[in-house]
């Protein structure tokens, strides 16, 4: 195996024996083959000039194939094998209607599990020899994985975009094309970011149409004395189905990690049995699931491989999967039956309280626009000197304490704009407010970084600036998995410069590719808290 797609890649270069995330060699190799077979489908679609809108289910399966390989989403080798077989079936049907010279990805065959495993080892990341081309191909592929996840959530709510599918095929096929130069791939990387913006906008429209605009909310972090289910991940459609099915059963629902922002939506707030949020970011789940006592539903990443009896309390759905846990499949109408989770909850003790109080959030674009006058006045009067976008991911590495210290040390006339699970590094600190505007404005999940971009563009308009980089906004982003990669590419495509990325730069950036990002976009790493704050405030 060789995998370097996330921030925790072993030794900062790549996992080659077992994933730091817990992904084993079998699953890692199979995920490589899954991506390869997906690229094979793209090769046929592009060479055949196939009509994307008429591809129907194929478009959805391509999204799902990408999503299943995201860090911490699916650890189940049988689920990955089944997805590969499904891809090969679709691929072969499509190939029968197109005459062209195809790439091996579009033609290879595997008949047994053993031949699948044998093929998988030859199609991984290292199969591309030139390290710069490899770096760019992977950067594009990770961006696609990130937005595929967002597009799938939008699709689950009935919203899709043929242009997005078309670009997905174009970009996947391009990563197989040896004729493309590094310059071509750099251009495609930025284009991937543009489609990332489209995917996030699509999901924003899907979520807000279905559940209303997130609004200023106080989210309880304590517990009640009822049996309960913990729901994690990013899929709001699953959230709705769970709340509907638990309503009136005496079973409470709590959010975990990236599902926290569900508490900001008017439609979800109306459920009496949605109690609040339990715990912190994904990586603390081992301890937090033990004290939660009840069953846990994962709608997406981030799963930490559970030990012992916990595996039986874990349920997965959508692209998520873990061997030994129960996977809940949607029926042909997209409906899911969560009754076995509810029945299990009734037999287990209520959650043990680990903290009390509340978190304030709900500052997606509509809520910030509602406060626009106040915000603009505060900027004009100098009460707010600068905004810090600290969106992205959290992770278990010790050096992420930097973000807690950074938030604590920021001057009192600054405001943090956040989204994603990165917020757990500082969202329970008493950072106060500026004239009633909280100093941490949480827009929501990582995909809601879209809101932060919309807010920045609105401020640019209000202040009549020519360039988004003239705004008093600094970007100090924490990344972990591939959704943060698409958020970064999206910001670059919008022209945002001088983004600081930490806690370490991606292992998949070759020195030359890193240099292009540094020279063209002013991308930088992080230093010490004091130095960085001085630099940002200068
Ligand atoms: Fe390693 Fe990250 Fe890949 Fe897991 S996802 S194998 S931790 S690089
Ligand atoms: Fe977190 Fe996995 Fe990235 Fe959606 S849940 S931000 S790490």
CA distance 165 to 32: 21
- The fraction of the chain above a pLDDT of 70, given in percent, is 100
103 is in an annotated binding site: no
Residue 354 burial (10 A CB sphere; 0-12, 13-18, 19+): middle
| Predicted local confidence at residue 54, as pLDDT | 97
CA distance 384 to 175: 45
DSSP type of residue 124: S
| Predicted local confidence at residue 387, as pLDDT | 98
Alpha carbon nearest to ligand 1 atom 2, residue = 6
Residue 442 near residue 426 (C-beta atoms within 8 A):
no
> Fold for domain 10-210?
Substrate Binding Domain Of Dnak; Chain:A; Domain 2 (1.20.1270)
Rounded to two decimals, what is the model's pTM? 0.98
Domain edges within the chain:
10-210, 217-346, 366-537
84 CA to centre of own chain: 23
In this prediction the ipTM stands at 0.98
Q: Which residues line ligand 1 (CB under 6 A)?
A: 3-6, 8-9, 15, 19-21, 23, 28, 71
DSSP string, 334-390: S----HHHHHHHHTSPPPPP---SEEEE--SHHHHHHTHHHHHHHHHHTS--EEEE-
- pLDDT bin (cut points 50, 70, 90) of residue 259 is very high
Ligand 1 centre and the CA of 314: distance in Å? 22
Site to substitute for ligand 2 among 149, 255, 282, 479, most atoms within 8 A of C-beta: 282
Phi first, then psi: give them for residue 327, nearest 5 degrees. Answer: -100, 130
| Predicted local confidence at residue 397, as pLDDT | 95
Ligand 1 centre and the CA of 23: distance in Å? 7
| Predicted local confidence at residue 138, as pLDDT | 98
| Predicted local confidence at residue 71, as pLDDT | 98
- pLDDT bin (cut points 50, 70, 90) of residue 24 is very high
Residues 280-304: pLDDT tens digits? 999 999 999 999 999 999 999 999 9
CA distance 348 to 346: 6
Residue 304 near residue 348 (C-beta atoms within 8 A):
no
10-210 matches 217-346 in fold: no
Site to substitute for ligand 1 among 7, 11, 23, most atoms within 8 A of C-beta: 23
Residues 395-438: pLDDT tens digits? 999 999 999 999 999 999 999 999 999 999 999 999 999 999 99
Residues 475-490: pLDDT tens digits? 999 999 999 999 999 9
CA distance 342 to 244: 11
**Structure tokens belonging to residue 256:** 């975990």
Q: Which CATH class is domain 366-537?
A: alpha beta
The mean pLDDT value for 204-222 works out to: 98
- pLDDT bin (cut points 50, 70, 90) of residue 140 is very high
| Predicted local confidence at residue 529, as pLDDT | 98
Alpha carbon nearest to ligand 2 atom 4, residue = 446
| Predicted local confidence at residue 87, as pLDDT | 98
The mean pLDDT value for 154-173 works out to: 98
Phi first, then psi: give them for residue 275, nearest 5 degrees. Answer: -85, -40
470 is in an annotated binding site: no
461 is in an annotated binding site: no
| Predicted local confidence at residue 121, as pLDDT | 98
Q: Mean pLDDT for the chain?
A: 98
Ligand 1 centre and the CA of 71: distance in Å? 7
- The fraction of the chain above a pLDDT of 90, given in percent, is 100
Residue 498 near residue 524 (C-beta atoms within 8 A):
yes
Say which ligand is closest to the CA of 302.
2
| Predicted local confidence at residue 371, as pLDDT | 96
- pLDDT bin (cut points 50, 70, 90) of residue 148 is very high
497 is in an annotated binding site: no
Residues 81-116: pLDDT tens digits? 999 999 999 999 999 999 999 999 999 999 999 999
CA distance 362 to 368: 9
- In which residue are the tokens 């609004």 written? 215
Greatest alpha-carbon span in the chain: 70
Residues 190-200: pLDDT tens digits? 999 999 999 99
The mean pLDDT value for 207-227 works out to: 98
**Structure tokens belonging to residue 377:** 């006045």
Antiparallel, parallel or unpaired: β 358-361 and 217-220: antiparallel
| Predicted local confidence at residue 422, as pLDDT | 98
> Fold for domain 217-346?
Rossmann fold (3.40.50)
């Amino acid at each position: 195996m060789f995998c370097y797609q996330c921030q925790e890649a072993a030794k900062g270069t790549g996992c080659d024996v077992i994933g730091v995330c817990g992904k084993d060699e079998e699953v890692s190799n199979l995920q490589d083959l899954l991506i390869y077979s997906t690229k094979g489908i793209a090769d046929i679609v592009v060479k055949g000039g196939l009509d994307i809108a008429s591809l129907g289910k194929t478009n959805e399966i391509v999204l799902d194939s990408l999503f299943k390989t995201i860090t911490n989403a699916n650890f189940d080798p049988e689920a990955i094998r089944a997805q590969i077989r499904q891809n090969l079936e679709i691929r072969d049907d499509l190939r029968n209607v197109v005459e062209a010279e195809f790439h091996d990805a579009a033609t290879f065959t595997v008949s047994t599990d053993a031949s699948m495993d044998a093929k998988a080892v030859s199609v991984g990341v290292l199969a591309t020899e030139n390290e710069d081309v490899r770096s760019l191909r992977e950067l594009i592929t990770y961006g696609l994985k990130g937005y595929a996840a967002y597009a799938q959530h939008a699709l689950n709510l009935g919203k899709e975009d043929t242009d997005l599918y078309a670009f997905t095929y174009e970009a996947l096929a391009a990563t197989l094309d040896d004729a493309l130069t590094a310059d071509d791939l750099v251009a495609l990387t930025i284009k991937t970011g543009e489609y990332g913006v489209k995917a996030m906008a699509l999901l924003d429209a899907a979520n807000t149409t279905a559940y209303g605009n997130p609004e200023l909310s106080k989210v309880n972090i304590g517990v009640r004395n009822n049996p309960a289910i913990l729901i994690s991940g990013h899929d709001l459609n699953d959230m709705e189905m769970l709340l509907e099915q638990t309503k009136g059963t005496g079973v409470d629902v709590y959010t975990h990690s990236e599902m926290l922002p569900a508490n900001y939506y008017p439609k979800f707030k109306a459920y009496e049995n949605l109690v609040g949020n339990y715990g912190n970011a994904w990586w603390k789940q081992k301890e937090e699931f033990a004290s939660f006592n009840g069953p846990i539903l994962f709608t997406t990443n981030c799963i930490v491989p559970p030990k012992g009896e916990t595996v039986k309390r874990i349920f997965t759905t959508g692209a998520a999967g873990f061997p030994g846990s129960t996977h809940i499949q949607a029926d042909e109408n997209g409906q899911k039956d969560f009754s076995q989770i509810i029945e299990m909850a009734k037999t287990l003790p209520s959650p043990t309280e680990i903290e009390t109080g509340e978190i304030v959030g709900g500052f997606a674009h509509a809520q910030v626009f509602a406060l626009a006058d106040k915000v603009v006045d505060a900027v004009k009067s100098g009460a707010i000197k600068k905004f810090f976008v600290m969106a992205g991911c959290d992770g278990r590495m010790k050096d992420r304490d930097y973000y807690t210290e950074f938030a604590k040390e920021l001057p009192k006339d600054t405001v943090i704009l956040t989204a994603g699970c990165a917020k757990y590094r500082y969202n329970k600190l008493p950072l106060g407010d500026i004239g009633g505007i909280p100093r941490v404005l949480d827009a929501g999940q990582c995909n809601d970084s879209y809101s932060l971009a919309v807010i920045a563009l609105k401020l640019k308009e209000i202040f009549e600036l020519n360039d988004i980089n003239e705004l008093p906004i600094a970007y100090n982003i924490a990344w972990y998995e591939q959704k943060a990669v698409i958020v970064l590419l999206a910001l670059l495509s919008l022209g945002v410069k001088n983004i600081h990325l930490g806690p370490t730069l991606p292992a998949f950036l070759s020195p030359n590719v890193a240099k292009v990002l540094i020279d063209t976009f002013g991308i930088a790493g992080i230093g010490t808290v004091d130095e960085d704050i001085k630099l940002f405030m200068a």
